[in-house]
A = this chain, B = another copy of it.
Amino acid sequence: MGASVGLAAKRAGVDWVGGHDPDAAAAEAAAERGAIDGAGPLAEILAEADLAVVAAPVTVLPALVEEVIAAAPDRCTVTDVGSTKDWTLGLPERFVGGHPVCGREARGAAHATADLFDGATWFLTPVTATDPDRYRLVHGFVASLGAVPVAIDPRAHDRLVAITSHLPHALANLLVNQAGAGRIEGHDPLAAAGGSLRDMTRVAGANPRIWVDIFLDNAPELGEALAEHRRRVEQLEQALAEGDGGYLARWVAEASENRRRMLAEAYPDPGELQHVTVHVPDRPGVLAGITQALGAERINVEDFELRHFSTERGGVLTVLVSGADEAARAAALLEAQGYGVSVSPVLDA
């Protein structure tokens, strides 16, 4: 991720970006990619720096941040890009903790990109001791990379990401391992996976080298989130055992309302969202043909997804549009191309 920070900083007009990596080949790759203007020993590269951004796996990050703070001149502000933040409590006033949430994991300079952070939330975790000028510097830098800085207390940050990221990752692993644990009278549940199981296990098995450390690093907060999850599972089991339809109806309605609130972050009017769905053959040109037709008719596409099932089964294309009229226009267009179209509201009334 360091190389992407470098590329984004260069794109933002930063004069000179220096780099240091214990692995000289990595530094060289970053220089070749244009992510840094020069590399060198830590003290040398930090001598003239206004800002140091420390990027490293969570296991070595705290020690490395301490090392950079010790090596950097007093004028140099220090920040990091680690995914947990409670370990930053007690660091000197010129440190400002950071965590860009960019989803994509660009590994190595070869996959670095200047726009990795465009539109991404970038948590900053200033504490009472943090120098306000240093905070403003990091805030401005992060915004100049295209990210949206969000200030949060370090401990609250770790509880928040436990819920928004670590718990979902853990549940994805748990679910795929349960589904993969054995056959049911000869049928492999993984082979019979429908859309919901596929959706919910997309992040399963991701990057063991990174994720084992993240889980360990945020173990207390993730543990609490899992314990709370388990209590909720027990309540659901009880409602099912008692055949309590009222509980289930309230529970699904609450989920619907929460999903509406989540969608409202991305879409001005989630209640208007419609899925327009067609089955498409596994054939070249289908994708371009459909997007061109939608574009020509100026259908305003919010999300667009083509999901392949297999060469024999083809795939399913889902277009998300806002408003029943827009959905009807999209449906008519696709029907005119010979597709059978389903339209359904994303949220139930």
Return the contact of A308 from the options B209, B257, B260, B267 (Cβ within 8 A): B267
Q: Which residue of B lies closest to A59 (CB)?
A: B245
Return the contact of A114 from the options B7, B202, B303, B340 (Cβ within 8 A): B340
Say yes or no: is A177 at the interface (Cβ < 8 Å to chain B): yes
- Pairwise interchain contact B193-A119, C-beta atoms closer than 8 A: no
Which among A41-49, A90-98, A288-296 touches the partner chain?
A288-296
Q: Can you list 10 residue pairs at the A/B interface with Cβ under 8 Å?
A: A111-B343, A111-B344, A171-B175, A171-B200, A176-B259, A191-B265, A193-B265, A223-B240, A226-B237, A230-B233
- Pairwise interchain contact A116-B340, C-beta atoms closer than 8 A: yes
- Pairwise interchain contact A240-B219, C-beta atoms closer than 8 A: yes
- Pairwise interchain contact A179-B193, C-beta atoms closer than 8 A: no
- Pairwise interchain contact B115-A340, C-beta atoms closer than 8 A: yes
State the number of copies, please. 2
Residues A252 and B212 in contact in the complex (CB < 8 Å), given A233-B226, A288-B291: yes
- Pairwise interchain contact A104-B212, C-beta atoms closer than 8 A: no
Q: Which residues of B contact A254 (CB under 8 A)?
A: 177, 180, 205
Say yes or no: is A12 at the interface (Cβ < 8 Å to chain B): no
Known contacts A178-B225, A215-B248, A227-B237; can you find 7 more A-B pairs with CB under 8 A?
A: A116-B342, A152-B187, A205-B255, A205-B347, A206-B252, A230-B237, A288-B288
Residues A194 and B248 in contact in the complex (CB < 8 Å), given A107-B344, A236-B170, A262-B201: no
Say yes or no: is A53 at the interface (Cβ < 8 Å to chain B): no
Q: Considering the chains assembled together, what is the distance between the CA atoms of A294 and B291 in angstroms? A: 12
Which among A17-25, A66-74, A134-142, A156-164 touches the partner chain?
A156-164
- Pairwise interchain contact A190-B261, C-beta atoms closer than 8 A: yes
- Pairwise interchain contact A111-B212, C-beta atoms closer than 8 A: no
- Pairwise interchain contact B176-A167, C-beta atoms closer than 8 A: no
- Pairwise interchain contact A200-B168, C-beta atoms closer than 8 A: yes
Q: Considering the chains assembled together, what is the distance between the CA atoms of A256 and B202 in angstroms? A: 10
Q: Which residue of B lies closest to A219 (CB)?
A: B240
Q: Which A residues are within 8 Å of any B CB, using their own CB? A: 7, 101, 103-107, 111, 113-116, 118-121, 148, 150, 152-153, 156, 159-160, 163-165, 167-180, 184-185, 187-209, 211-212, 215-216, 219, 222-223, 225-230, 232-234, 236-237, 240-241, 243, 245, 248-249, 251-262, 265-267, 275, 277-279, 284-285, 287-288, 290-292, 294-296, 298, 300-310, 312-316, 320, 339-344, 347-348
- Pairwise interchain contact B104-A344, C-beta atoms closer than 8 A: yes
Residues A303 and B314 in contact in the complex (CB < 8 Å), given A163-B184, A172-B200: no
Q: Which residues of B contact A228 (CB under 8 A)?
A: 178
Q: Considering the chains assembled together, what is the distance between the CA atoms of A193 and B163 in angstroms? A: 9
Q: Which residues of B contact A200 (CB under 8 A)?
A: 168, 171-172, 199-200, 203
- Pairwise interchain contact B168-A113, C-beta atoms closer than 8 A: no
The smallest C-beta distance from A169 to any residue of chain B, in angstroms, reads: 6
The smallest C-beta distance from A58 to any residue of chain B, in angstroms, reads: 12
Residues A104 and B342 in contact in the complex (CB < 8 Å), given A184-B160, A240-B222, A258-B190: yes
- Pairwise interchain contact A103-B316, C-beta atoms closer than 8 A: yes
